[in-house]
Structure 1
Amino acid sequence: MNTLHTSPDFALSFRVFQPEPAQPTALVVLLHGVGGSETNLADMAAAISAQAPGTLVVLPRGPLALGPGQFAWFRVAFTPQGPRIEAAEADNSRLALTRFVEQLQLAHGIAPQRTVVAGFSQGGIMSASLGLTAPERLAGFGILSGRILPELEPQLAEPAQLAAVQAFVGHGELDSKLPVVWAERSDKWLTALGVRHQTRLYPIDHGISAAMQADFLAWLNSCIDSSLR
């Protein structure tokens, strides 16, 4: 992992997983959860880099600082009635993430059809928010122990655009932070929207198991390879 990049040329601060390919053929952006940092998904970045050495793996930092080494894409309160989000912050982060992905694509000459964005928990929420509102920027998105925000509905892309993007949903059946019903809702919503997707459930709490990561990596490889056909 290299040093943190902070530049006016990019909408978010970020790190690039090393070794960085000289001429990347694909782009994967991995997003951390609330209270985490861009280094949280370094192990997954390493696995992606090993599987596909030509892939540029980028780990951005959420724009909101919650404390030392703790960042978020938006603030959220977990209540008995379910998560309550700061919707304006979520939307601002969605727009920043959309710009950031486009900036990376332009800087490295990588087509949207060779780009995947995925994340854990709140990072998965942001991945879905980008993929469902700007599907033309991606080949696919991954929701790992996350959900799709109901607040997103007025901003969804047209069905014809959504038909071109793919998704992966992985979730723990024992998730105590975001219960598995959120994965079930995501699955139903993606089906209704016509988004091609896989949904996989695992006997774990809130997290990413080895099996979830393996299934995601297999989907990722297929998603990027399908852009060549």
Structure 2
Amino acid sequence: MEKPLEFLVREPKAPSENPPLLLLLHGVGSNEEDLFSLTNYLPESLLIVSVRGPLTLGRNSFGWYEVLFTTGQPKINLEQERESRRLLLQFLDFLKLNYKFDESNVWIGGFSQGAIMSYSIGLLYPERIKGIIALSGRLLEENKAQVIVSEKILNKKIFISHGTNDRVLSVEFARSVKGYLESIGVHPHYQEYEEGHSINREMLKDLIQWLEVELGNYN
């Protein structure tokens, strides 16, 4: 099976037969090296794979789907978003064939557009994903309408962080996701920070602590 997407890998620093897997998805206009720079700080038990979006936007610049502003309002290319979801699920199958990891302990997380894709994969295919990390993202209304509330959704571990000074994706998006999740019976770890559209040291520290607790026995 050919690899469906480009990626970088950090093997677990603590050797394990069946490590938990963390997929990292970058924001629009970035690439797989962006979030890979965080891997030195993340729990040693994890097999971490940082994935490149399939759309080439420029030199070393990639995305998961295009956003058009022709009407004055952001309109996403839903066909591209669906295709990126398909490729990510195919990519998970590719990883199964090439790496050893615990298929019941797969986590997905990202920043901005990568967080949007993480919500989509984690909530629409809950049997494939144990936990979601959403840094400065939102849940697409089109995908929310497709969520089927099940035990696998209700047991989902979700970390949400967002800057109150975010001028790219307003903190209201994060508050909306929190409200929606709580309305269906999911209680995410939710934190706001005095920050713009970025990941600061405090966010990273909180994420590491949350991951270490949730991974529990794997550390």
Same-fold status (TM-score > 0.5): yes
Choose between structure 1 and 2 for higher RCO, CA contacts under 8 A separated by at least 6 residues: 2
TM-score (norm 1): 0.86
In structure 2, the residue matched to 1:89 is 80
Task: Give the Å deviation of 1:17.
Answer: 2.6
Distance 1:69 1:98 in 2: 23
Task: Give the Å deviation of 1:224.
Answer: 2.2
SS at match of 2:74: strand
Distance 2:50 2:81 in 1: 18
Task: Quote the sequence identity (%).
Answer: 33
Q: CA RMSD in A?
A: 2.3
TM-score (norm 2): 0.90
Matched, 1:130 2:121: yes
Distance 1:26 1:82 in 2: 39
Distance 1:78 1:216 in 2: 33
CA, structure 1 residues 157+19, in 2 after alignment: closer, same or farther (shift >3 Å)? Answer: same
In structure 2, the residue matched to 1:172 is 163
Distance 1:55 1:76 in 2: 33
Distance 1:38 1:213 in 2: 18
Task: Give the Å deviation of 1:214.
Answer: 1.1
In structure 1, the residue matched to 2:195 is 204
Task: Give the Å deviation of 1:35.
Answer: 0.3
Task: Give the Å deviation of 1:44.
Answer: 1.4
In structure 2, the residue matched to 1:60 is 51
CA, structure 1 residues 109+164, in 2 after alignment: closer, same or farther (shift >3 Å)? Answer: farther
In structure 2, the residue matched to 1:225 is 216
In structure 1, the residue matched to 2:176 is 185
Aligned length: 218
Task: Give the Å deviation of 1:15.
Answer: 1.1
Distance 1:16 1:198 in 2: 27
**Cα contact 2:20–2:218 (8 A) shared by 1:** no
**Unpaired runs of 5+ in structure 1?**
1-7
Distance 1:204 1:82 in 2: 24
Task: Give the Å deviation of 1:219.
Answer: 1.6
